[in-house]
Amino acid sequence: MSRPGGELEQLRAIVRAFVDERDWDQFHAPKNLAAALTVEAAELLEHFQWLRDGGKEELGEGKLEQVRHEMADVLVYLVRLADKLDVDLFAAVEEKMVLNRAKYPAELVRGDARKYHEYKDR
């Protein structure tokens, strides 16, 4: 049985090959990758600025394609950052979900979007 997260490993290999072909590893310090990730996330958000809710219908086909490309940019930088720091993203998500389940117990927070510290008063 294959380990879950194999697609992330494939993405890492694709991104690593792209970077290696261009000799860009020298520019990919973790700080620089984190900054680039933030810039790309802001570019993604820009497509939703001033929209009512940003659903597919409101975006339209052309803008949805641009959003897909920005999402890909965000993922590429995240995968690259994880590669540089030897972070297993699949394992990191599993760990974080355990923490989130403890912080936001379903029976306490269902249908309520407040931050975890606001639930302590209940």
Query: Would you say how long the chain is, in residues?
Result: 122
Answer whether 50's CB lies under 8 Å from 101's CB: no
Residue 117, in any domain of the structure = no
Residue 71, in any domain of the structure = yes
Residue 42, in any domain of the structure = yes
Q: How confident is the model at residue 114 (pLDDT cuts 50, 70, 90)?
A: confident
Query: To which residue do tokens 């641009």 refer?
Result: 66
Contacts of 52 (CB under 8 A, 6+ apart): 58
Which CATH number does the domain housing residue 49 bear?
1.10.287.1080
Residue 103, in any domain of the structure = no
> What is the rounded average pLDDT of the residues 6-13?
94
Name the residue range of residue 82's domain.
Answer: 6-87
Answer whether 59's CB lies under 8 Å from 67's CB: yes
Q: What is the CA radius of gyration of the chain?
A: 18
The tally of domains found in the chain comes to 1
- Record the pTM: 0.87
If you ran DSSP here, which 8-state letter would residue 52 be given? Answer: S
Residue 73, in any domain of the structure = yes
Residue 34, in any domain of the structure = yes
Residue 95, in any domain of the structure = no
Helix locations, 1-119, DSSP H: 6-22, 30-46, 56-84, 89-103, 106-109
Q: What is the mean pLDDT of the chain?
A: 93
Residue 97, in any domain of the structure = no
Weakest-pLDDT range from 67-76, 88-97, 102-111: 102-111
